[in-house]
Structure 1
């Protein structure tokens, strides 16, 4: 049997090959096929194939590429080993993946797009609109949390959502699957789908945060540094900590900036048991405070004061 070359392998259809491996798309939108990641367990589809370009991207681990990139990662083998393996592969007939038709009526079968349900009940958060931050109450809230607007503007939006028939305006921090963490002074919640947020600064280490205000605080504390910050992983929920282990393990060092409550402390201890050389507990920086944002608030100074040459995280 003749061995495939790289160009032939790159032309193999990724959608058909994932079907061959037993993976079916959770939803199809604008030519993008969304899957539960074949690299880890997850509940929200974060692995995408653009079938027209025949390329993939995994939002959960920040990796992507062509068929060869996928095959070598999935099978944990060299390119040569993959080409030998694929020489005996023949695409099996698969189901036709036509995008579901969504009509004006969002009830019934047309609304059942896996991982992207159209919420129609008053008890579900429905995001209506997003735009740059401008609402005075939200800007005042950011100031109260000691987050400069120029930093919040980079990562957050002003979001309108509907809940129990009432419209609310909040600060929205988007995750990798398109959902939002939603905050204002009187509200704390999230829209579906729930997922982590990964910020890729192209470094070989990663800082891990429980919530996005700790992440924004980290950016604020280090805003005067000229060197790029580490990559950042905002879990948006500690339930994603163990699920994100594969992503974290790819880095030389993992800086843990979790809350100093029981849950955060316990997961920090768990990570240190995994690998005490890779995982580093950075919470001593904000000891005596629940999280990094509380530390920042405690040490805040007005913008009129001379910038303090102080601690850096």
Structure 2
């Protein structure tokens, strides 16, 4: 089999061939226990069905079927392509692929058990490692205990409310959502910061002197540009793009600049020019001499809803 043909094979089909099945499916993304770790208890391995790409948050690696196969089988590209010659969907026992893709039944999503302020030692240590102040995190995040109904496993995670009424979920070696959407933090400001990652957002809140203060925040959560993002941007006089330099953000940047050209919006692109930094968080901390502590609301957290989120 040639490389071009191999890349057309759906990763979830090959996982089914290996008897590897998801623990949940949300918004076109399936979560699995890490295939590279035999005793994994956290579903850190995610497959984007539309893009046919995998991302394992435990080992912090991602790629296509070829990169998965060569790592999983610990073999060369040539050897893996030979293995794919033996692979065929016709070899799958009846019902196995249906079990994976949900042709007969939809895979259960994530069930929320509880929503509380952040208090778990594991999550507090996770925030500390990310250099995020707990008091600030508690103003925007919640501690959620979630369950994967298919297997009954429970996990405590950070949850950021989004515009669909769901949560974006993060923990060590885990990333997911109950219903994926953008998150808009409304501080009644005329300016807006557009950023892709929810943890990068908190880091930037703590210390980026290039940003106005106060300002509103729009966390894309991997959604890219869409009509909802356009609508939120058009509500502001100034928009600051705090995005990375990878190819996934280049399209976002182009559409934002195009939107501004036809409207009275001032766009400032704060993309790091230094490609040595892998994340916006790294760039912020390496370009900020005096880290500023963002104010924390003393208001009550009724209905588990943090101050500043539009509903």
TM-score, structure 1 normalization = 0.52
Look up the match of 2:207.
Answer: 221
**Among candidates 294, 297, 302, match of residue 282 of structure 2:** 294
Indicate how the Cα distance of structure 1 residues 240 and 195 shifts in structure 2: closer, same or farther if over 3 A, else same: farther
Look up the match of 1:279.
Answer: 267
Look up the match of 1:189.
Answer: 176
Look up the match of 1:151.
Answer: 136
Look up the match of 1:17.
Answer: none
Larger Rg: 1
Indicate how the Cα distance of structure 1 residues 279 and 238 shifts in structure 2: closer, same or farther if over 3 A, else same: farther
Indicate how the Cα distance of structure 1 residues 257 and 286 shifts in structure 2: closer, same or farther if over 3 A, else same: farther
Partner secondary structure for residue 238 of structure 1? coil
Indicate how the Cα distance of structure 1 residues 274 and 288 shifts in structure 2: closer, same or farther if over 3 A, else same: farther
Are 1:127 and 2:112 an aligned pair?
yes
1:152 deviation in Å? 0.6
Indicate how the Cα distance of structure 1 residues 296 and 206 shifts in structure 2: closer, same or farther if over 3 A, else same: closer
TM-score, structure 2 normalization = 0.52
Check conservation: 2:207, 2:285, Cα contact below 8 A.
no
1:273 deviation in Å? 2.8
Which structure has the higher relative contact order (CA within 8 Å, separation 6+)?
2
Across the two proteins, how many residue pairs are aligned to each other? 184
Indicate how the Cα distance of structure 1 residues 132 and 204 shifts in structure 2: closer, same or farther if over 3 A, else same: same
Q: For each residue in 1:121-152, what CA deviation from the matched residue of structure 2 results, as whole angstroms up to 9, or x when unmatched?
A: 77411111110111111111111111111111
1:175 deviation in Å? 1.1
| d(CA) in 2 for partners of 1:287, 1:268 | 17
**Among candidates 188, 192, 201, match of residue 206 of structure 1:** 192
Check conservation: 1:176, 1:198, Cα contact below 8 A.
yes
Partner secondary structure for residue 198 of structure 1? strand
Check conservation: 1:139, 1:149, Cα contact below 8 A.
yes
Map residues 1-313 of structure 1 onto 2, 5 A cutoff: 123-163=108-148, 164-192=151-179, 194-222=180-208, 228-275=213-260, 278-284=266-272, 288-296=276-284, 308-309=289-290
1:248 deviation in Å? 0.4
| d(CA) in 2 for partners of 1:146, 1:288 | 19
Check conservation: 2:159, 2:169, Cα contact below 8 A.
yes
Deviation above 6 Å: which 4+ runs of structure 1?
none
Indicate how the Cα distance of structure 1 residues 166 and 309 shifts in structure 2: closer, same or farther if over 3 A, else same: closer
Unaligned runs of 5+ in 1: 1-42, 44-119, 301-307
Partner secondary structure for residue 159 of structure 2? strand
